[in-house]
Amino acid sequence: MTLAALSEVAPIKSLLLKHPREAWNDQGNIRNQWKALGYTEEPDFAKAVAEYDRFVDILRGFVTDVHFLPTDARTGVDSIYVRDAACVAGKGIVLCRMGKPARSGEPAAVGDFSAKADRPVIGTIREPGTLEGGDVVWLDERTAAVGHGYRTNAEGIRQFREIVAGDGCEVIEAPLPHWDGPGDVLHLMSMLSPVAERTLLVYSRLLPVPFRKRLLEMGFELLEVPDEEYATMATNVLAVAPGKCVALAGNPLTAEVLNKAGIDVWTYEGDEISRKGAGGPTCLTRPILRST
């Protein structure tokens, strides 16, 4: 089986998720983990389940083939943010190696799912490399941008480049800022989200100058997130199809920017599943197959 997800905006055909029932299990499990994982507050399990169910309802309006990872003793509360454990290349899945030690068991869990679902795994990032899916963005079918920060290191990028080189794909390394330090969650997708063909929603104040110039040279239109909404994850937007996006509610200025560019936005309430753990709609989802 050959996968095709080298677009971040083509219509999603198959999607991998992990429901809080399986990622979090119960309130006691959350209580034991949330502080160590860096959540801003303890999420409420019942409210999170309700939020997530509504989030899935929105996704099912666009995606018919939705899969859920099961409960797994190797994973913790952060496994709800399923994007980070794996990437998708032209011929299959690449299992990541997490830069956050508490999440080290997640790639193996995705690997087990992939084997049972007949999804080919074409590569695995090995020690000392680290690579998290939130740092990998396909700009087009032959070009991936990978953020080099505290969660993804140079060796992880080298290994990923080697895996996709056989398909003639280029990897652009984008250095990430220190921002709030290694304990914070700052992936490349914290400052950039594809929303339509050759259109990116960005927070340019955090983009490296050479990388931003490269995006413009490639012909991308950059839609800017207002300063006052960056901290509320306005840049983290999931394209379910070209010009059709799912975003966290509460960022009306950014929604206006998108609407003026002809992009439709569906919003979900995510106080429990997104804000407290700093993981927006791209973090909560791992597209496996997109039509091209």
Judge whether 171 lies within some domain. Answer: yes
Are 286 and 83 in contact by the 8 Å Cβ rule? The answer is yes
Judge whether 80 lies within some domain. Answer: yes
Judge whether 120 lies within some domain. Answer: yes
Are 151 and 135 in contact by the 8 Å Cβ rule? The answer is yes
Residues of the chain below pLDDT 70: 1-5, 292
CATH code for the domain in which residue 87 is found: 3.75.10.10
Judge whether 33 lies within some domain. Answer: yes
Copy the structure tokens of residue 211: 């990388």
Place of tokens 């899945």: 93
Judge whether 248 lies within some domain. Answer: yes
Judge whether 5 lies within some domain. Answer: no
Q: What is the pLDDT of residue 3?
A: 46
Q: What is the pLDDT of residue 276?
A: 97
Q: What is the pLDDT of residue 7?
A: 94
- pLDDT tens, residue by residue, 144-180: 999 999 999 999 999 999 999 989 999 999 999 998 8
- pLDDT tens, residue by residue, 95-120: 999 999 999 999 999 999 999 999 99
Helical ranges in 34-105 per DSSP H: 45-60
Q: What percent of the chain has pLDDT over 70?
A: 98
Q: How far apart are CA 207 and CA 129, in angstroms?
A: 23
What pTM value is reported for the model? 0.96
Judge whether 230 lies within some domain. Answer: yes
Total domains in the chain come to: 1
The amino acid at 130: T
Q: Is the dihedral of CA 196, 199, 205, 208 positive or negative?
A: positive
Judge whether 226 lies within some domain. Answer: yes
Closest by alpha carbon to 136, among 117, 157, 111, 113? 157
Boundaries of domain holding 208: 12-290
